[in-house]
Structure 1
């Protein structure tokens, strides 16, 4: 798998916030943004897989609330 360059133009305030989040994790801004994108992509693919499974097997009935 090769790599490609993605260039972004972002607000200075957002960049400062990203720097802070990345610094808390000991990461560069680039690594922090990449990890966030990967995590979001995984979440989307996981949700799609769950939706497909529920369509295939039928949605499980909702449990009755405890009173």
Structure 2
């Protein structure tokens, strides 16, 4: 994997908080920030995928008494996957 350099200017208070959180996890500030950015990016992509799936299959109706389960004749995308 190719890497590039990103320089970021932060105030002292933020840097101190980043150092604290990184130290709690035994990480460098750089590794902590990168991990946090990657996790945030994953969360955004996952949420977009969930929303797309809901648009495709239809979001569960909050007033539906089936608990969000699909009708018996509808196959869910996870059918058969354990």
* TM-score when normalising by structure 1: 0.90
Partner of 2:57: 57
Structure 1: runs of 5 or more not aligned: none
Partner of 2:22: 22
Structure with more helix by fraction: 1
Q: CA offset at residue 63 of structure 1? A: 5.3
1:15-39: CA deviation from partner (whole Å, max 9, x where unpaired): 0000000000000000000000000
Partner of 1:4: 4
State the SS of the aligned residue for 1:2.
Answer: coil
Give distance in 2, aligned partners of 1:15 and 1:2. 26
Partner of 1:47: 47
How many residues matched? 64
* Higher RCO (Cα < 8 Å, 6 or more apart): 1
RMSD, matched Cα: 1.2
Which has the larger Rg?
2
Structure 2: runs of 5 or more not aligned: 65-82
Runs ≥4 residues deviating over 3 A? none
